[in-house]
Amino acid sequence: METLQEREEVTTMPRIGDKAPKFKAETTQGVINFPDDYAGQWVILFSHPADFTPVCTSEFITFAHLESKFDKANCKLVGLSIDGLYSHIAWLRTIKDKIEFNGMKNIEVKFPLIEDITMKVAKTYGMIQPGESKTQAVRAVFFIDPKGIVRAIIYYPLSLGRNFDEIYRALIAMQTADKFSVATPADWYPGDDVIISPAGSCGVAEERMTSTDELTCKDWFFCTKKLDKDTILDAILKKETIKM
């Protein structure tokens, strides 16, 4: 029978604002030292339940298809499952040679897929949820910033494939918040108005409510301003290198 200590060990996970736990692992792209190898870049570390499963296959095709889009946003992808390296390689080869999904085919997965047979990494990151499965990782997504800090976490059950528009939207929103010292409201996309921090004093609050500058204030605590989509993307996305 599983003890309370064993259950806590399985479900422990880093929290938002924590340093991402370090580990060294074998992957389909060689050995990585995480997150040190990705210093200066954003990383999305995500887990999946098992190789050769249909929902996971659809996700890996989608992630691989979008890899260059994430790369332009200075973000690397790193996958994990508790299957072995040879299983990973065979599965990814099958995806490239045989599987088509949503019009995407001949997709080669180039980002690392971690071998985690011992479940050490999965347990460290709380990817094993005993109430869902004791032998498979749930669909966890960790957003880790260029300083190695966990900035956001999304968890999905085994049966639910991830929404990749939301994963990319969240990445761009956090980068926008960092770059322009703003917050983003519900359902925000680049080009929508952003939120500025609430006033810290009565004087500032009154000034905002009576100001005729770029702010739009519904009340003293709810002020927005326009932030052009091109301004955001120019500041965040990598510029294409022009070959001479």
Structure tokens at 222: 């709810």
- Of the listed ranges 8-17, 78-87, 124-133, 159-168, the least confidently predicted one is 8-17
Known catalytic residues? 56
pLDDT at 212: 53
List residues forming the annotated binding site for substrate.
139
pLDDT at 87: 96
Give tens-digit pLDDT for 120-155. 999 999 998 888 887 788 899 999 999 999 999 999
Q: Is the pTM of this model over 0.85?
A: yes
CA 26, distance to chain mean position in Å, is: 21
Q: Smallest Cα–Cα separation from 232: which of 195, 186, 154, 179?
A: 179
For the chain, domains (ranges, CATH) are 4-161 (3.40.30.10), 175-236 (3.30.1020.10)
Q: How far apart are CA 124 and CA 70, in angstroms?
A: 25
pLDDT at 137: 84
Give tens-digit pLDDT for 147-164. 999 999 999 998 999 999
pLDDT at 117: 93
List residues forming the annotated binding site.
139
